Structure 1
Amino acid sequence: MERTYSQIDLDDRRKIARWRQAGVGVDAIAEKLGRHRSTIFRELRRNRFQDVEMPDLTGYYCVTADGFAKERRRRYRKLVRHPQLRAAIIERIKHCWSP
């Protein structure tokens, strides 16, 4: 059985938020989305919104979660953050160098 990996998109995050608000368990959400339960647990933990001033607003919100995830991915793009490294790699690839 071949496995493929795809990022959780805003559509899936909307479903997760709605189901969590309705009280659906993580196992059921994972089954409905066709993902492993640890993926859903990780999503809920990493992208949880916390407000210190108004603790009642703390929770999982799909649009905020999508923003957190996109920011995290943007932050880790090494070749965008280091243009000299990017130029060196491009130059080496032009000379048939394989990373």
Structure 2
Amino acid sequence: MERTYSHIDLDERRKIARWRSAKLSVDVIAEKLGRHRATIFRELKSNQFNDVEITDLRGYYCTIADQKARERRSKQRKLIRFDHLRKSVVEHISSGWSPQ
């Protein structure tokens, strides 16, 4: 049986934020979205907003969560971000070097 995974999108994050503010449990949110409960827990933990100065603002906000997730994914693309590194890698591979 093949499993497929898709990232949580902004629409799902809006639903999560709305349901969390309505005090729905993670299990109910996961069931409504058709996701595993661990996915929702991970989403809430890794994308929660924490303000050091104003503690009342702490919580899960869909737009901030989406921005944090996008930033994390973009950091992984080093060859896209660093032009000189990409050119160097292409040059070395073209001359017969192994990626290892």
Shorter-chain TM band = 0.7 to 0.9
CA shift, 1:86, in A, is 2.4
The one-letter code matched in structure 2 to 1:10 is L
Query: What stretches of structure 2 of length at least 5 have no aligned partner?
Result: none
What are the equivalent positions in structure 2 for 1:13-32 lying under 5 Å apart? Answer: 13-32=13-32
Partner of 1:44: 44
- CA deviation string 1:26-84 (max 9, x = no partner): 01111111111111000000000011111001000000000000111111212123434
Q: Percent identity?
A: 65
Comparing 26-35 and 79-88, the one that deviates more: 79-88
* Aligned residue pairs, count: 98
Q: Distance in 1 between matches of 2:3 and 2:98?
A: 27
After superposition, the Cα gap between the structure-2 partners of 1:13 and 1:98, relative to the gap in structure 1 and judged at 3 Å, is farther
Residues 1:67 and 2:67 aligned together: yes
Superposition CA RMSD, Å: 2.1
Residues 1:77 and 2:77 aligned together: yes
Q: Distance in 2 between matches of 1:4 and 1:90?
A: 31
TM normalised by structure 1 equals 0.84
The one-letter code matched in structure 2 to 1:63 is T
